[in-house]
Amino acid sequence: PELSLRNAGGESVQLADFRGRPLVINLWASWCPPCRREMPVLQQAQAENPDVVFLFANQGESAETVRHFLQGENLRLDNLLFDNGGQLGQQVGSVALPTTVFYTAEGRLLGSHLGELSRGSLARYLEAFEPAAAAPATRSSE
């Protein structure tokens, strides 16, 4: 989406700047129980998929509230962004939290998931980013 959000340092970040790599954007809040439950799953996926950019767009909370939550849960999330006005949620059609959207490296929407992501459902979305998913499998004969 064409949108600018703030990072934890208060600097403006353009979402379009992340084109060129597959992108997962998670819309979340610390007061949302399903969001809290899926955070360790997303943190692990972030660590295991270095070729995929994960953006964590907090919805309407202060940087201090988010920092306190992440420290208390021992979570390390790269690319933490703040969507205080809910503009991103409106653009992606989010009606509830958590919402996770998946974009190709070219910026094309690949899919979205409303509600808590399990390891299995997230893995299925991430498989769509793999080159083998875009091309038919070929077998070499040796």
Can you list the domains of the chain with their CATH numbers?
4-130 (3.40.30.10)
Each residue's pLDDT, cut to its tens digit, for the chain (142 residues) gives 788 999 989 999 998 888 899 999 999 999 999 999 999 999 999 999 999 999 999 999 999 999 999 999 999 999 999 998 889 999 998 889 999 999 999 999 999 999 999 999 999 999 988 764 444 444 444 4
Cis, bond preceding 98 (omega within 30 deg of 0) = yes
> Tokens 């091309």 belong to which residue?
135
Pull the structure tokens for residue 125.
Answer: 């979305």
Report the run of H or E that residue 103 belongs to, with start and end.
strand 99-103
One-letter amino acid identity for 78? D
pTM above 0.75, yes or no: yes
Listed in sequence order, the residues at least 6 apart from 108 whose beta carbon sits closer than 8 Å to its beta carbon are: none
3-state secondary structure of 74: coil
